Amino acid sequence: MSTRKHAGATIITAALMLGLAACAPATTPAATQPAASQSPDAAGQVSGTITVFAAASLKATFTQLASDFEAKNPGTKIVLSFAGSSDLVTQITQGAPADVFASADTKNMTKLADAKLLDGTAKNFATNVLEIAVPPSNPASIASFADLAKPGVKVVVCASQVPCGAAADTVEKAAGVTLSPVSEESSVTDVLGKVTSGEADAGLVYVTDVKGAGGKVKGIPFDESGKAVNTYPIAAVGSSRNKELAAAFIAMVTGADGQKTLGEAGFGAP
């Protein structure tokens, strides 16, 4: 082959190789992968303080998650405020300075979405079901949901506007049992407090509350609880002044680390 032909073949081959390289699919850099597949809290990437409003049933897990997040992200501070989801919605609607809201149901989150008070779309991160909590000695001999309606049994539930109360209403209808509670509380932790203090024979709380209480109460599961599964969503509040930090915390909650902590506490997958 002549030198000219050989050079021409070399040029053509090189051109073909360049063309194939240009047509090959690009590899997405790790930094642009979806949040679920990357570390949600890379140290040094976020700073400052945010306030997280969270449902009362999340107190133990979110306290742990906030501590873990701060440890992995020096220079950050997560301030936590716990209450019934409906109370938190009222506070945010009235202008309370929240950066993130985690609700015990989708209904209350929807209220903020409808009011245009969220930044982006809420993400579901956990589920929970009710369980009967009784004192360790179970003085009223509670063994089923129907037993809560027996004469003389002092039962405590959440108020209907609170997620745990709405779930209790759903369970009552599913079981065909009407309860006559001695009190209706504004949060699930208040219900648990009535049981642990001996003021009630039984209370309707979440599975996670019974587990978190350790030996202070005994849990009585019941089949009808499956009729009222609460889904927990989390979202950034539109008025947040540190949206980057809010997004990073949400990423941790919905990511592998958060899901592991929530699962260990008894929460179900979203």
Is 232 annotated in a binding site? The answer is: no
DSSP string, 155-166: EEEE-TTSHHHH
> CB of 163 within 8 A of CB of 103?
yes
106 within 8 A of 231, measured Cβ to Cβ: yes
| CA triple 201-202-208, angle to 5 deg | 145
| DSSP letters for 182-205 | SEEESSHHHHHHHHHTTS-SEEEE
* 57 assigned binding-site residue: yes
Q: Are strands 100-102 and 230-237 parallel, antiparallel or unpaired?
A: antiparallel
CA–CA gap between residue 250 and residue 147 (Å, rounded): 40
Residue 32: partners with Cβ closer than 8 Å, 6 or more residues away: none
Query: Binding site: residue ranges?
Result: 57, 85, 188, 206
Query: Binding site for molybdate: residue ranges?
Result: 57, 85, 188, 206
